[in-house]
Amino acid sequence: MKSGFVAILGRPNAGKSTLMNALTGEKVAIVTAKPQTTRNRIIGVLEVEVRKKVHPAAQIVFVDTPGVHKPSSQLDRRMLQEVHEALSTRDVVLVLVDASRRVQLEAAGEPGNVLEQAQIRMPQVSSLNLQKDSGSHAKSRKTAAWASEEEFLFSLIRELDCPVFLVLTKIDLVAKDVLLPLIDTLTKQYNFAEIIPVSARKRDGLDLLVRKIVAALPVGERYYPKDQYTDQPMRFMVAELIRERILVETGEEVPYAAAVVIEQFEEAEPPAPPRKKGQPPARLPLTRIAAAIYCEREGQKAILIGKGGAKLKEIGTGARKQIESLLGTRVYLELHVIVEPNWRESRPFVESLDWRNQLEKLAESQGNEKADDEEF
């Protein structure tokens, strides 16, 4: 069989987490419409069955990464470090480019280019006024900033010595006659091993992408058990589901200034079997979870709590439903909000959010408790 690590890179909101979830068939990473949703490296494992005369069996270990952008805070620098670490151990790299976003910005910034001449059948683009007006300078600045960020992305892959695939995402939002000139523009920036347009939402191009990845992977054994689809502990996935609801329920600066830490996670006892055959199954067991939501200012705390606690209740209710689906149990979820001023610039605090560091501290704490019990 074949096996290997596939790093997924792209600008914020390029569709990296959506693609990985679609490929693995599991909700491995949270997904929202807000940029910079992903903050850590997240692994999703795909078992590929053998297809005679097509490809051997394979295990693909996808590594989703934070959106690539120039760092402006300690949190941003940590996220970029996650990208570099993903690139340090990889067999294939997927560079994702949001085709619909690229079309919109090029159309807004270059009224006379080939994208305008093509008939773009996308509502977001067709509604743009492509004539020069008083806002043209602002559009030009926006396009220039976007181009600079994209160049920053491409600078990360130019020294790689492994196959790099260009994956154009969200192609269901763009007319086919627009893709060819877009591909031509992007291929001038790097000699890609493969160029594959996909739509994760409609699953277009995903089978082809998997076949090409398997062909590029080395021969090897499984890295993870066959039935494991991620390496993330449940505690981290629960924290991410809570943060997902914060991203959905709040706006402005609040989602980016919020962090979630699980303080208590009491796993449910397995349900007792029914006493007699034919009796209804026992009620689902209960998992008790307590989590802290950190923010940077009192004003953000007020928004997260809401009038009479209404907003925090909405966040908790939405998160609890997702967590119950993940765990397969009933969930009692307790949330409270803590102000940690300017935490995004605090390296120790940012490091403490990494679930790997949290597990080390948890193991150390449990070890100390066990030693104290034995001494007693």
Would you state the pLDDT for residue 131? 39
Mean pLDDT of the chain: 84
Query: 368 vs 166, 213, 290, 374, 376, CA distance in Å?
Result: 49, 45, 22, 10, 12
What pTM does this model have? 0.82
Which of 132-136, 166-170, 305-309, 337-341 is predicted with the least confidence, judged by mean pLDDT?
A: 132-136
Radius of gyration (C-alpha) of the chain in whole angstroms: 23
The confidence band for 129, taking pLDDT boundaries of 50, 70 and 90, is very low
Instruction: Estimate to the nearest angstrom the gap between the alpha carbon of 97 and the chain centroid.
Output: 15
Would you state the pLDDT for residue 361? 76
The CA distance from 311 to 373, in Å, is 42
Which of 5-14, 146-155, 226-235, 243-252 is predicted with the least confidence, judged by mean pLDDT?
A: 146-155
Would you state the pLDDT for residue 166? 95
Identify the residue with better confidence: 115 or 292.
292
Q: What is the mean pLDDT of residues 12-33?
A: 93
The β-bridge relationship of strands 194-197 and 164-169 is parallel
Would you state the pLDDT for residue 376? 55
Would you state the pLDDT for residue 113? 41
The confidence band for 359, taking pLDDT boundaries of 50, 70 and 90, is confident
Would you state the pLDDT for residue 267? 86
pLDDT over 80 (residue 124): no
Place of tokens 């925090």: 312
pLDDT over 70 (residue 374): no
Q: Residues 244-297: pLDDT tens digits?
A: 999 999 988 899 999 999 999 998 777 666 666 666 666 788 999 999 999 999
Task: Kindly report the number of other CB atoms within 10 A of residue 255's CB atom.
Answer: 22
Q: What is the mean pLDDT of residues 152-178?
A: 90
